[in-house]
Structure 1
Amino acid sequence: MDLTKYRNKLIGSEDERAVSPVIGVILMVAITVILAAVIAAFVLDIGDLDDSAPNAQFDWGTDGGYIDDVTHTSGDNIDAESININTVADGGGEDEVSGDIEGGTWTAGETIDFTGDITEVTIVWEGDGSSTVIAEYEI
């Protein structure tokens, strides 16, 4: 009975045994590199480089077929300097926007009034190099 065959079957031949450690080393290096990249992303805060637009809900006040006001009802506080409120009046012109945003931040419950015959309002948030329409309403 030749035990060499059985030994090679259980342990592997000289050529086969060297493959396993090489594959193990390659896998360990790959896992280490991936783990280091994930940790670096969290430590350096690379995942959240851009400002994101606020998430807010609004209630639109209308009277006589025109938009009278907009109330921030819930959601994120909005920096007043980061928004542009664009209005379109009946006939295509722009009209005046007024409102008292306390402390420069538009918070839930605060209202902005419009004068004139406003038929369309767009609230645009401008962040670092980007802009997003956060609300629009048209009659």
Structure 2
Amino acid sequence: MRFSRDERGVSPVIGVMLMLVATVILAAVVSSYAGSLPSDESKAPQLSISAEAKENSYVLVKHEGGDPVNLNSIEVRTFIPEGTYADMSYKIPSSALQEVGNGNGVIETGESIKINWNDAFATSAWGLMAPNPGEKVTVEIYEKGGDKPIAKTTTVVRP
């Protein structure tokens, strides 16, 4: 009986399999590490709002629920979807936002933001471009510098 000691075919196969297993384990370790890295991005607050608009008086935005928001970290915009000034959008100056609540600069559930009527809409050479009674106005809240609203509601202007 003659035995052959030529095992060259087995060694390369085992070597390739070991390299493959090592690669898979290394990929799993790197993936789990990268997935758990903290990010610098903070999540936008989530909130629900309602609004009330009284012609020539005010626009009141009420925080109905969700995260508290700092008045200095948000932008409030009005949008007129119909009527004489349809498609008119206006970013309300921060100085025009009045807190109706505990006065700490943070709007929490149950508190409101009051905006005087003349501050809530754009002004042109022809005067204030505001909706008429019975027309709709949409109020949107954005994070400062953001391009997507974090809260939005539409209401009908009351006389």
The answer, yes or no, to whether TM exceeds 0.5 is yes
Aligned residues: 127
**What's the TM-score once normalised by structure 1's chain length?**
0.64
* Displacement of 1:53: 1.4
Please name the residue that 2:120 is paired with: none
Q: Gapped runs of 5+ residues in structure 1?
A: 5-12
Q: Decide which of 43, 60, 67 is 2:51's aligned counterpart.
A: 60
One-letter code aligned to 2:110: G
Q: What are the ranges of 5 or more consecutive residues in structure 2 without an aligned counterpart?
A: 118-129, 132-136
Alignment of 1:1-139 (within 5 A): 14-42=8-36, 44-45=37-38, 48-62=39-53, 68-87=59-78, 96-100=96-100, 102-116=103-117, 119-126=137-144, 130-138=146-154, 139=156
Structure 1 position 83, deviation (Å): 0.3
Judging by fraction of residues, say which structure has more helix: 1
Identity in percent? 19
> What TM-score does the superposition give when structure 2 sets the normalisation length?
0.58
* Structure label with greater radius of gyration: 1
Q: CA RMSD in A?
A: 3.8
Offset from partner CA, 1:100-124 (integer Å, 9 cap, x none)? 3632222111111233266332211
Which one has more relative contact order, counting CA pairs under 8 Å at least 6 apart? 2
Counterpart AA for 2:74? I
